[in-house]
Structure 1
Amino acid sequence: MNGFETRCLSSLTKVFADEELQDKAFNQGSALLDETFSFQIAFRSSRVMRPVRVAVKSDLSRITVRTVGLVPSEFPCYPDHDEHIVRRTPGLYPDPLFPVQSEGVTAVPGQWRSIWVTVDLAGETKPGDYEIEVRFELDSGEELGKECLELEVFADKLPEQRLIHTEWFHCDCLATYYGVDVFSEEHWELIEKYVHTAVTHGVNMLLTPLFTPPLDTEVGGERPTVQLVDVEKTGDTYRFGFDRLERWIRMCGDKGIRYFEFSHLFTQWGAKHAPKIVATVEGERKKIFGWETEASGDAYRSFLSQFLPELTSFLHAHRLEERSYFHVSDEPNPAHLEQYQSAVEMIRGYLSDFPVIDALSDYEFYEKGLVKNPIPATNHIEPFLEHGVPDLWTYYCCGQYKEVSNRFFHMPSARNRILGMQLYKFNMKGFLHWGYNFWYSFLSRKPIDPFKTTDADYAFPSGDAFVVYPGPEGPIESLRLEVFREALQDLRALRLLEDRIGRENTLELLEEGLRQPLTFSEYPRDPEWLLSKRETINRKINECRS
């Protein structure tokens, strides 16, 4: 006996260093072509062992192994949380996925740790049965442990994602953390790396900062200027330059982004002010709009009347009218109805050819015709579903922590992944989340180190503000991001099955065996159900091949 234990586990297990493993071994799975399949190997030693080398043997060539790192959570959950969680206590939680270094991993005595195995089935992969063997060895060649997973790859190809999906991309956070100038070549290089990672995980729409997005900013405060549009002001006349915006659009196209959501034209939580806008005035670069600017005042109204026609002409010239979305103001509530209406009326005539989307959860905004494309939160979506709102989107953030899906540290991964099946059931057109890489504190008062502060300085439960970490050369992915990709793959697999057997039969298969229909708040809590259901979907797709 060498005092070394291993267990093969699914991607839905969260392995805590100070807790016994509860989940049973997972040694068999299936996937479609063009899918990304993930699983874990947990390991524990009775003594310190370093270096422990990890070796993979398989006929599949595109396999990546990473270590699941631990990061602190001082604020894991709200005090009135529900019971569908894995922990409520502060401590170290598994989340970032670090590359395995050439020297291997370290086994810490008495602590369960895990490695994350990702199998990329794109490219030249052939259907069939594959064994993936993962061995742990010492430098001497002594084998400490070995686990095997049998993966059946079906001949059907996962179809292209139809869902429009955006994770708000914060350019300023990249510049701040890495210490580079905004839109310098170093900044563009980082942006491209982070966009690439977003796209490979199902993001196909990107928040595009025409002007510095007026999001999560303290009243009177400022975030660093990230403005793609050049503005020159002469008296009451404005001239606009779109060179950086054109580069942004070209970069997005190269990376696989299809849709653009242009930053909000009015401030968050009420649409009362203009966003921060910087212009060249008499040769000097200065701020011309911001918190001091009344949104409905003559100055900003005049600016929009000159800017929006030029912007929309630019979009038409680049044939982007079917791929461009606009925002008014984020998360207005009934107290903001009048001001929001004023803002809508200011821009409506200029943007009649484009969809306007906003995260809001009060049905009255839609009922009054103020927003044609509302994005209600998952826990406020019922009135929109009941009234049959077409082309409906949904979102969640820190407020959706009871019953519905989410991806906080303290929640089980199954609660993250179930969303894909819910999005399919309710035929959602899009999904929005605000935190791809928000590495500031609450209201952007100061920068934070995401490896040390995971709750935006005690503002939101850990896991709300970002799904990637800043690595030395680019993004470090999280297990939550990987599991969310699996949710989107489940959605795509259901779409494929629908193409084979029809929507009614697909829904019947999805809900087969459930005591009550699937909703955003009612769903199986058992990860085994998710894994088993996906197996059933895969086999039904294979069975119904044309």
Structure 2
Amino acid sequence: MTKYQFKLVDSLEKVMPARSPEELSELSLKGYLGERISFQLAYTCENDDLGHSGTKFCIQLESPLKPHLHLRKVGLVPCAYPCHGSVDSDYLTTEPGLYPDVLLPSSEKEEFKAIPKQWRAIWIDVDGDIVDIEAGTYPISLRINDLSGERIQEKQLTVSILQEKLPKQELMHTEWFHGDCLADYYQVPVFSEEHWDILSRFMKSASRCGVNMLLTPVFTPPLDTAKGGERTTIQLVDVKVEEGEYSFSFDKLKRWIALCRSCGIRYLEISHLFSQWGAIAAPKVMAKVEGKERKLFSWDTPAVGGEYTRFLHVFLPELKRFLKEEGILEDTFFHISDEPKEEDMDSFHAAVESVKDLLQDCKVMDALSSFAIYRRGDVKKPVVSVNHIEPFVEAKVQNLWAYYCTGQAVEVPNRFIAMPSSRNRILGVLCYVYRLEGFLHWGFNFYNSEKSREHIDPFKVTDAGEAFPSGDPFLVYPGKEGLPYESLRLVVLQEAMADLRVLQMAEQKLGRDKVMAGIERLAGEKISFKNYPRDKRFFYQLRTFLQESLEG
């Protein structure tokens, strides 16, 4: 005889296999027009006959919102490297294991299997693209039946669609998009029609979750690549060399821009012009030289003072002219080299100087953690790691950007699989508090090992080959037939972006001072990237305050 147990839980609960999850305190969820609303059905069972009796069930959804409801199964993924050696107390676990992350396509037709003495979950979304429904409160019933059709249990809750529509996201948000990794995983030629179709699906997934800027590989990005190594060539600009003269075709880049626009991506982020970790070399550039395909520049090409400098002085004016014709130059950002350190400053400064006149009328930004380096003036628009941002704030650096990655593992927010979802979701509130212009992360879909020494299967390896805490390299999984499978971390990141938009909407009515006072009152203190609420109830209290303020 099988005994089932079911619980309705919120989207911030990670249903760990060995822990009983916390039930929804109120069976009522709220969201604005244009906002995706998510919750989960957690389940487990007990039986005593070695699993021979049935432990499968089906779900039947009943609701006026049914056309807008979507089911997905929360899949467990390996978390072999949950954290670095330095941690704080705000981790769900520091033990390796199988933990919830990937959201697998499902439907009411599926037979779900309960595993004795393990908790699993089904993820349910109310579609955020609802445009043809009136504001109001709608019931949702989850009727749980065994395979014979007999009712096991029924769960009910309500969802309120609020009158206001979420305003447009103003924050510039890039999660580095690795098109080469998609070609590698699906084993399709780069920029084949199959590849373009896959790129489109993954761009739409990124855009849906608040990404509005895309890393654009005019040449293969010199990122996460071992010195002397290579990533799969992905180059949107075709280069020809005839009698020592350069010429360019931007046809692929034109198609990329059109695809970005159709997917809701506004901004371009041109791949870095110089190698990572010191700006000592050129990126890999392929060209047809007197009709034959060859590698024009790479690790053995000095960054400055040689042929690559001459190349850039021909290429960048042509690229800018093309981007201006496409009407996107004003929304395009350039990079020199990622995260310069003190020991890199001679080569980094030389790289900056080599293109300074060419990019003087463009937006140029780079990740940077050192305020002392910033003061030297080579980086005009710093993208600052969140654990080093305070000196930049104190100096009143305008239009500030922030990022986090593998190194931001203690005190500050992040989104590793082993972290609670509240530590992911707080990003939206902090972007508002700090008035950030943009946010950057390096891993939307990085499916290589560290430094791209080999390709990995992200369903089996979530840590880039024991290099980074599980979940850091990607937010989305490469599903069957070129379909992106979201992680629950990606959906929570979208919720963070929705929080930011609601805060900005409230500011328009109340003024910033009242909104900030409300945040600090609910948090019980002035919050910062190192000091913020850890209890997920903060987000529900904040939304209640904002809703009441908007309706008052």
Which runs of structure 2 are paired with 1:62-73 in the superposition (5 Å)?
62-73=68-79
1:42-98, Cα deviation, whole Å (9 max, x unpaired): 011124545421111111131111110001111100122111110000000100000
2:137 corresponds in structure 1 to 129
Kindly, what percent of the aligned residue pairs are identical?
Answer: 46
Asked whether the equivalents of residues 8 and 26 of structure 1 are also in contact (C-alpha less than 8 Å), the reply is: no
1:41 corresponds in structure 2 to 41
- TM-score w.r.t. structure 2 length? 0.96
Q: 2: distance between equivalents of 1:332 and 1:427?
A: 25
Q: 2: distance between equivalents of 1:277 and 1:270?
A: 18
Aligned-residue offset at 1:369: 1.8
Q: 1: distance between equivalents of 2:354 and 2:9?
A: 55
Q: 2:510 aligns with which of 495, 498, 501?
A: 501
Q: 2: distance between equivalents of 1:493 and 1:103?
A: 36
Asked whether the equivalents of residues 336 and 351 of structure 2 are also in contact (C-alpha less than 8 Å), the reply is: yes
Residue 451 in structure 1 maps to residue 459 in structure 2? yes
Post-superposition, which runs of at least 4 consecutive aligned residues in structure 1 deviate over 6 A? Answer: none
Letter in 1 for 2:258: R
> Matched residue of 1:8: which SS?
strand
Residue 55 in structure 1 maps to residue 68 in structure 2? no
Residue 160 in structure 1 maps to residue 168 in structure 2? yes
1:157-186, Cα deviation, whole Å (9 max, x unpaired): 110100000110001100000000000000
Which runs of structure 2 are paired with 1:524-543 in the superposition (5 Å)?
524-543=533-552
Using a 3 Å threshold, how does the CA distance of structure 1 residues 85 and 23 change in structure 2: closer, same or farther? farther
Q: 2: distance between equivalents of 1:96 and 1:29?
A: 23
Is 487-496 or 140-149 further displaced after alignment? 140-149
1:111-155, Cα deviation, whole Å (9 max, x unpaired): 111111111242112111111112221222112222222222210
> Matched residue of 1:322: which SS?
helix
Letter in 1 for 2:122: I
> Matched residue of 1:331: which SS?
coil
Q: 2: distance between equivalents of 1:414 and 1:256?
A: 27
1:260 corresponds in structure 2 to 268
Aligned-residue offset at 1:99: 1.2
Q: 1: distance between equivalents of 2:314 and 2:551?
A: 56
1:83 corresponds in structure 2 to 89
Q: 2: distance between equivalents of 1:27 and 1:170?
A: 40
1:100 corresponds in structure 2 to 106
Letter in 2 for 1:4: Y
Which runs of structure 2 are paired with 1:8-47 in the superposition (5 Å)?
8-22=8-22, 25-47=25-47
Q: 1: distance between equivalents of 2:25 and 2:152?
A: 18
Asked whether the equivalents of residues 30 and 535 of structure 1 are also in contact (C-alpha less than 8 Å), the reply is: no
2:317 corresponds in structure 1 to 309
Aligned-residue offset at 1:538: 2.2
1:110 corresponds in structure 2 to 117
Q: 2: distance between equivalents of 1:451 and 1:514?
A: 37
- TM-score w.r.t. structure 1 length? 0.97
Asked whether the equivalents of residues 523 and 538 of structure 2 are also in contact (C-alpha less than 8 Å), the reply is: no
Asked whether the equivalents of residues 51 and 103 of structure 1 are also in contact (C-alpha less than 8 Å), the reply is: no
Asked whether the equivalents of residues 45 and 110 of structure 1 are also in contact (C-alpha less than 8 Å), the reply is: yes
Q: 1:204 aligns with which of 203, 212, 215?
A: 212
Q: 1: distance between equivalents of 2:360 and 2:444?
A: 30
> Structure 2 regions of 5+ residues with no counterpart?
none
Asked whether the equivalents of residues 5 and 145 of structure 1 are also in contact (C-alpha less than 8 Å), the reply is: no
Is 94-103 or 455-464 further displaced after alignment? 94-103
Which runs of structure 2 are paired with 1:73-472 in the superposition (5 Å)?
73-100=79-106, 102-121=109-128, 122-472=130-480
Residue 488 in structure 1 maps to residue 506 in structure 2? no
Q: 1: distance between equivalents of 2:543 and 2:283?
A: 45
Aligned-residue offset at 1:103: 2.9
Is 425-434 or 230-239 further displaced after alignment? 230-239
Is 512-521 or 247-256 further displaced after alignment? 512-521
Letter in 1 for 2:495: E
Aligned-residue offset at 1:389: 0.6
> Matched residue of 1:422: which SS?
helix
Letter in 1 for 2:78: P
> Matched residue of 2:373: which SS?
helix
Letter in 1 for 2:304: S
Q: 1: distance between equivalents of 2:524 and 2:258?
A: 49
Q: 1: distance between equivalents of 2:323 and 2:24?
A: 53
Aligned-residue offset at 1:359: 0.8
Is 238-247 or 366-375 further displaced after alignment? 366-375
Aligned-residue offset at 1:26: 4.7
Aligned-residue offset at 1:487: 0.3
Is 388-397 or 328-337 further displaced after alignment? 328-337
Q: 1: distance between equivalents of 2:364 and 2:319?
A: 15
Aligned-residue offset at 1:100: 1.5
Aligned-residue offset at 1:513: 3.8
Aligned-residue offset at 1:24: 5.3
Q: 2: distance between equivalents of 1:271 and 1:135?
A: 59
Q: 2: distance between equivalents of 1:37 and 1:17?
A: 24
Is 385-394 or 53-62 further displaced after alignment? 53-62
Letter in 2 for 1:262: I
Q: 1: distance between equivalents of 2:294 and 2:499?
A: 48
Letter in 2 for 1:58: S
Is 21-30 or 128-137 further displaced after alignment? 21-30
1:446-468, Cα deviation, whole Å (9 max, x unpaired): 01111111110000000100000
Q: 1: distance between equivalents of 2:15 and 2:523?
A: 28
Letter in 2 for 1:106: K
Q: 1: distance between equivalents of 2:158 and 2:439?
A: 33
Aligned-residue offset at 1:422: 0.4
Aligned-residue offset at 1:366: 2.5
Asked whether the equivalents of residues 30 and 538 of structure 1 are also in contact (C-alpha less than 8 Å), the reply is: no
> Matched residue of 1:418: which SS?
helix
Q: 1: distance between equivalents of 2:238 and 2:281?
A: 20
Aligned-residue offset at 1:514: 3.2
